[in-house]
Structure 1
Amino acid sequence: MSDRRIAFFLPTLAGGGAERVALNLLKGMVELNIPLDLVVADTEGPYLDQVPKGVRLVNLGTGRVFKAIPGLVKYLKETQPVALLSHMNHANLAAILARDLAGVKTKLVGVEHETLSASKSPLLRSKFLPLMMRLLYPRADEIVGVSQGVSEDLDCELGFAPGTVKTIYNPVVDRDLTAKAAAPVEHPWFAAGSPPIFLAVGRLSQQKDFANLIQAFALVRQRKAARLMILGEGETRSELEAQIETLGIGEDVSLPGFVQNPYAYMRNSTAFVLSSRWEGLPTVLIEAMACGCSVVATDCPSGPQEILAAGKYGLLVPIENATALADAMVQTLETPVDRAISIDRGMYFSADRAVSEYLKLFDYESH
């Protein structure tokens, strides 16, 4: 235990916001020469090659998170890291059980990325999650919410005293993002003189509600020449493609799938749109702002209200309201937000700030 190691626990390296947050924290901590382990239930996912050099990857190889508990117990006993940082509720529960079973003094911090009351997971386990969280979360040293909204909601849903769940904003912006944003975009739509482009990025899922965005875009197209590009992959792809065809807007909508560098697209798009039904702290919204993009977002629980300071840095519209979303999109074309103001606000959510706040939570002085 002499090397004062910090461990992270994630289900997989799938291409989601929580995984990106963990990688950004790891990147920031590597720069401080902290010994680090990234423990995963399975190494699958497109982010595998983004694990920073210097981080030891420990693959428990179990696929499912709860099957990973025995492997995590063994890891904790053998390595005894000073702190274990787990991400997402089912991984947090597994980490709490493993730490208890291992009987080690490792400080455990669980990070919650979604608004519990608003998330509607179709998975059977989601029925039991709140009960398990109520029982086990008090056993962690700290629970962190990625936005004020997430933290307050969790306190309320789990019957904790107000302020029990701490808030640390995600480490979104770092030097890497700025460098990647400067890369050229090969897509023909970005040629000079092309119509303005609305960009959205996220998993093609019910949560992101891209069906509402496509509906809104169809309304925008009746008023303005424009295009819509949605980066991401997921289970609602075929429904969205059918909807695009029905609306007859196929020539102006593109779904290119998962893209390794969405930041270059953000920097070159006219405006970014977040259409989610619920979130925790939508990383993509901050990234788009840091790339200088004007933004429109649904006022979903939780995050957009805080990121956009109640509409100061971009337009907020009600969820599942295509007309309001279309109006805001047109308004953004007519009066874009000053690039410098967007970038400055995005920079508030820096990796350096988040890293130092987590280290404080671990009582970890980096030497």
Structure 2
Amino acid sequence: MVKPVDDQPDLSILASFSGEGGVERMVLNLVNAMAERGLHIDLLLIKTHSRHLHEIHPAVNRIDLGSRHTATSLLPLARYLKQTNPPCLLAAKDRAGRIAVIARILAAASRTRLILRLGTNLTAAFAHKPGWRLFLRRLPIRLLYPRIDRIIAVSEGVRADTLTVSGVTPEKVVVVRNPVVTPQLLEAAEAPSPHPWLGDPKNPVILGVGRLTVQKDFPTLLRAFADLRARRPCRLIILGDGRQREKLQAMSDELGISEVLALPGFTANPYAYMKRADLFVLSSRWEGSPNALTEAMALGTAVVSTDCPSGPNELLDGGRIAPLVPMGDWQALSKAMQRMLDQPPDPTLLCESVREYNAQQSADHYLEIMGLASV
């Protein structure tokens, strides 16, 4: 465990680093952007299983709470709040936010302002839960969210959903765009080509990125790709690991596309793929604000997305910038993919449309909301 330094932090951030997912990357970008401003930050870690931890700014004070689950971090967090009494605690996820509310009560740390960053459309994420489990998920939100000082939603869709699910007052929930675009992202995109398929004009490459889970709905992408492949040459690369790998491999055999599908697994630099792909496709059933879609647009790559809750509709301006298709509709997705390959949009338009997702600008908004802009 890293010992807290004697000086009280300007800000404490509670986060779980359990992998290389979008939340971990956004926390990393946000922490580093704030640390570059000279803020004294305590990063309270629930889990420490992520390569991203090696990229954290050296000035950030990392504190391992000694817990491997959010629920069991309650007492260590309460002890920290009682001993340190920081002016502000930012919780990076829904569960972390709920635990932080209880910990603040136990620690009697009334001076500490509690801010929650919420990156998920809760209604969509809970939709597949049975009735009793749905009730158990919603009840703590209704009870605990009103005790949070401010909630930062990553999209207008997440904000609207949060108001419905939690019952908090509208002025408590504000929207701040994710800190997606960084100089490091743009630099990483210029790395040498990571795959032999990239850069072949006769066989355009379609790219998907994300955990191989139900949420990302890659089966719909496979069906759409198989339909498109019957009409024109193309190849598909899906980056990521997850429980559905075997299912996707078996499905590709059934669809007859296994020779033109690559599943390289997780890569620390998906941006070199994004920069060189002919088309990026988001086939998700739900998101908060899809980082991979934002990253692809920031690199000027043509995109297609499902109109899932929440985020793609805002990013693509209701379909004005790039096509939005109904969730699970592989036929509509296939047609949209063909249209983007035949008539790709202006890369400059794509880049300009995600200017708000700059990490420095996002950090400025966070600090203003937390009352730390002058620190």
- In which range does the TM-score fall when normalised by the shorter chain? over 0.9
Quote the sequence identity (%): 39
Q: Aligned with 2:357: secondary structure?
A: coil
Contact 2:194 2:272 in 1 (8 A): no
Q: 5+ unaligned residues in a row in structure 1: which ranges?
A: none
Give distance in 2, aligned partners of 1:169 and 1:193. Answer: 35
Instruction: Give the aligned partner of residue 291 of structure 2.
Output: 283
Closer, same or farther: CA 13–27 of 1 in aligned 2, 3 Å: farther
Instruction: Give the aligned partner of residue 215 of structure 1.
Output: 223
Instruction: Give the aligned partner of residue 96 of structure 1.
Output: 101
Q: 2:235 aligns with which of 220, 227, 244?
A: 227
Q: 2:35 aligns with which of 30, 37, 40?
A: 30
Q: 2:112 aligns with which of 102, 106, 111?
A: 106
Give distance in 2, aligned partners of 1:163 and 1:314. Answer: 32
1:55-103 CA-to-partner distances (Å, cap 9, x unmatched) read 1211112111110111111122222222111112111111111112111
- Supply the AA of the counterpart residue of 2:264: P
- Work out whether 1:62 is the aligned partner of 2:70: no
Contact 1:39 1:60 in 2 (8 A): yes
Instruction: Give the aligned partner of residue 142 of structure 1.
Output: 150
- Supply the AA of the counterpart residue of 2:64: N
1:165-209 CA-to-partner distances (Å, cap 9, x unmatched) read 211111111111111111112311114445111111111110100
Contact 1:13 1:48 in 2 (8 A): no
Q: Aligned with 1:136: secondary structure?
A: helix
Instruction: Indicate the RMSD between aligned Cα atoms, in angstroms.
Output: 1.7
Aligned residues: 367
Q: 5+ unaligned residues in a row in structure 2: which ranges?
A: 1-5
Give distance in 1, aligned partners of 2:30 and 2:163. Answer: 24
| Structure-1-length-normalised TM-score | 0.96
- Supply the AA of the counterpart residue of 2:233: A
Contact 1:90 1:129 in 2 (8 A): no
Aligned pairs for 1:170-249 within 5 A: 170-193=178-201, 195-249=203-257
Q: 1:130 aligns with which of 138, 141, 148?
A: 138
| Structure-2-length-normalised TM-score | 0.94
Contact 1:173 1:290 in 2 (8 A): yes
Instruction: Give the aligned partner of residue 177 of structure 2.
Output: 169
Deviation at 1:3, TM superposition (A): 4.6
- Work out whether 1:151 is the aligned partner of 2:151: no
1:231-289 CA-to-partner distances (Å, cap 9, x unmatched) read 11111111111101111101111111111011111110001100000111111111100
Give distance in 1, aligned partners of 2:236 and 2:159. Answer: 33
- Supply the AA of the counterpart residue of 1:279: E
Q: Aligned with 1:245: secondary structure?
A: helix
Instruction: Give the aligned partner of residue 17 of structure 2.
Output: 12
Q: 1:48 aligns with which of 46, 49, 53?
A: 53
Give distance in 1, aligned partners of 2:249 and 2:55. Answer: 30
